[in-house]
Amino acid sequence: MYRVGMVPSSQVVPSSEAVPVFVRLAAHPVRWRLLGELAAGDHRVRELTERLGQPQNLVSYHLRLLRDGGLVTTRRSSFDARDSYYHLDLDQCAGALSTTASSLHPALRPSTPAVPSGARVLFACTGNSARSPMAEALLRHRTDGRLDVTSAGSHPKPELHPTAILVLRKEFGLDLAGMRPRHLDSVAGRRFDYVITLCDKVREVCPEFDDATVRSHWSIPDPATASGSDDYEAFARIAVEIDTRVRHLLPVLAANHSGGHRD
């Protein structure tokens, strides 16, 4: 006989073997904090150790579990090859979360985020000839021009890389022909809500901005220095990675900027 307070046999909580991988990985307090830190940008082990206040061997252990679970990836620093940057694969997380939520109840499937407006975003890399102008164009495109998006470099090249222009035109239908590299000095004094560095070298020299500016780092290699691959292929691969990160930036911007600039 079924009584109030009893759980019907058809609704019994599944065994631990049926718990989704994402839940098992994210449930640990240290791993959850690591996911949170990496959600804001790429970091080195020593930075994560400082932020969590935990021993490096413990942090490295949990990072390895997250990497083995496919949620985190690593990439050697282009500034100092002895360092590695850890990156949260948000596409993998989104897929895992969607699967987890849908398995619990169809009503928990994620909804499409609103398009942000009003934020001021600066993308920076060394030469401002490929990565940062691609990010600028892609974010402007995905927000229908609603944001104040700029890019600059610490050592700007004379002009944009021709393959970057070609890739964005062929793969995304975007025209970069009218853009010109600019120096970071040219945006000094301007206020930005977000400053995102796209290469490890410029992260070390990027100037400080307003105290309210959110700083984030995307550790992305320079496609112009890629070896052993076709030039177009290398640029296309980097463009897709930047576009993926831009897409995942949109919900953050939408949550914090519903329109208009901050005072």
Q: Average pLDDT for residues 38-56, to the nearest whole number?
A: 96
What does the pLDDT average to over 249-258?
A: 83
| Residue in this structure with the two tokens 């307090």, named with its chain if needed | 29
Angle at 109 between CA 104 and CA 111, to 5 degrees: 160
CA quadruple 151, 217, 143, 180: dihedral, nearest 10 = 10
Q: What are phi and psi of 178, to 5 degrees?
A: -85, -5
Mean pLDDT of 52-74: 96
pLDDT at 263 (0 to 100): 43
Higher pLDDT, 43 or 189: 43
Rounded distance between C-alpha atoms, residue 174 and residue 76, angstroms: 30
Residue bearing tokens 């402007």 = 140
57 against 2, higher pLDDT: 57
| Mean pLDDT, residues 32-42 taken together | 95
3-state secondary structure of 182: coil
Average pLDDT over residues 170-198: 93
Helix (H) or strand (E) holding 199: none
| pLDDT category of residue 230 using cuts at 50, 70 and 90 | confident
From residue 211, alpha-carbon distances to 164, 192, 194 in Å are 33, 10, 11
Q: Which of 39-53, 209-223, 247-261 has the lowest mean pLDDT?
A: 247-261
pLDDT at 18: 74
The reported pLDDT for the residue numbered 254 is 86
Asked whether the beta carbons of 142 and 238 are under 8 A apart, the reply is: no
Which pLDDT value is given to residue 34? 97
- If one compares 48 and 17, the residue with the highest pLDDT of the two is 48
| Mean pLDDT (whole number) for 224-242 | 85
d(CA 252, CA 142): 14
Higher pLDDT, 171 or 1: 171
* All structural domains of the chain with their residue ranges: 16-108, 120-256
113 pLDDT tier (thresholds 50, 70, 90): low
Backbone torsion region of residue 177, taken as left when φ is above 0, otherwise alpha when ψ lies between -120 and 50, otherwise beta:
alpha
Architecture of domain 16-108: Orthogonal Bundle (1.10)
Per-residue pLDDT for 14 more than 80?
no
Residue 15, pLDDT score? 46
For the CA atoms of the chain, what is the radius of gyration? 21
* pLDDT exceeds 80 at position 13: no
What is the CATH code for 120-256? 3.40.50.2300
> What residues act catalytically?
125, 199, 206
State residue 106's pLDDT score: 74
User: Please, which pLDDT band fits residue 262 given cuts at 50, 70 and 90?
Assistant: very low
